[in-house]
Amino acid sequence: MREAAVTRKTAETDIAATLILDGQGQATIATGIGFFDHMLTLFTKHGLCDLSLKAKGDLEVDGHHTVEDVGIVLGQLLKDCLGDKQGIRRYGTAYVPMDEALVLVSLDISGRPYLAYDLPVQAEQIGSFATELTEEFFRAVAAHAGLTLHIRLLAGTNSHHIVEAVFKAFGRAIDEATRQDARIQGVLSTKGMLE
């Protein structure tokens, strides 16, 4: 079973999390930011992984430290679950519609962190979640999981729908890319390694 546990404690946040990559979409999430909890639950459900995550952060300042550090932890969990990346499909792409919104997420578990982010949202806040933190979250995940990650808005105006579609698409793309394929001997690279 591909699973990992990570704890991260700084002067700003205290996070404990476990991830079972080959799960059933079960989530137990508590970050203190309701909309963010909902987005992580959607990622888990659509990624068919099991995520348990509890975060305490300096929300009296704002949500930035909590959201970014949760991204760091999720990236570390993904990297630890994948280990040497033997037999994984490596690439994942998902288009997800949410009413008028249509989002593309495409990724490569390459070991080369990169985020290409084109997701304009009109609302500055959704509940207590600052929408600009969506980019910070995915940048942290990409950096710590070693992902090349592209996120694009293809259509849409409702900020909630757009951000929700991104988290669902990210889950689906991760599920596709981390799936093991018996035809792949070693790693899917002519270099013989994904770094």
Set out the domains of the chain in order of their start, with CATH numbers: 3-178 (3.30.230.40)
Specify the pLDDT at position 188: 73
Q: Give the Cα separation of 120 and 126 in Å (integer).
A: 14
pLDDT digits (tens, 9 = 90+) for 41-60: 999 999 999 999 999 999 99
192 contacts 186 by C-beta, under 8 angstroms: yes
Q: Give the Cα separation of 70 and 19 in Å (integer).
A: 13
Element (H, E) at 2: none
Range of lowest pLDDT (6-20, 46-60, 70-84, 175-189): 175-189
pLDDT exceeds cutoff 80 at 194:
no
Q: How confident is the model at residue 4 (pLDDT cuts 50, 70, 90)?
A: very high
Contacts of 38 (CB under 8 A, 6+ apart): none
pLDDT digits (tens, 9 = 90+) for 125-136: 999 999 999 999
Of 35, 17, 30, the closest CA to residue 81 belongs to: 17
